[in-house]
Structure 1
Amino acid sequence: MSSNMSAGEAHGKAEAKAENAVGAVKDTANQAADKAAEATDTNQGQAQARKEEASGILQQTGEQVASMAQGAYEGVKNTLGVGENQKK
């Protein structure tokens, strides 16, 4: 191979290298976009699971508060003598 490359050959090789570089950059960008989409899906799934867990905890807490309120109500009724358990 001659060390004197024609301008056309040099241009062709440079163009091919540029196209390869652009292709590599596109591939890398696509891979990054895919990973970002996967991370988003994972985060959305985790957020949904946490939302459901929090909802369950709030429901359980609400039931406990209602039960405590009912117990307090029954205690007041019994203290005032209007409860069903009072002897007549």
Structure 2
Amino acid sequence: MDNSTKASYNAGQVKGQAQEKSSQVMDKISNTAQSAKDSMQEAGQQMKAKAQGAADAVKDSVNK
């Protein structure tokens, strides 16, 4: 293997490793974003339930 072929091979190896690393990073970002979205939806549901509870409490006090 001459130097030119070796350099080309090494460049290919580095490119492949960089693509794999990039793919792993994108997967992590995607998983983090999905987790944040799930957390926000859960928080939204909790806030909605609390607001409904407060509204019901006001209705009960007004209707007494």
Please give the per-residue CA displacement for 1:59-87, whole angstroms capped at 9, x wherever unaligned: 10000000000011011111112xxxx5x
Pick 1 or 2: higher relative contact order, CA cutoff 8 A, min separation 6.
1
- In the superposition, the TM-score normalised over structure 1's length comes to 0.67
Give the aligned length: 64
2:47 equivalent among 65, 74, 77: 65
**RMSD value, Cα:** 1.3
List gaps (5 residues or longer) in structure 1. Answer: 1-18
2:8 aligned residue = 26
Question: 4+ residue stretches of structure 1 with deviation over 4 A?
Answer: none
Answer with 1 or 2: which has the greater Rg.
1
Distance 1:79 1:35 in 2: 66
Structure having the larger proportion of residues in helix:
2
List gaps (5 residues or longer) in structure 2. Answer: none
Distance 1:80 1:59 in 2: 31
Trace 1:1-88 onto structure 2 (pairs within 5 A): 20-81=2-63
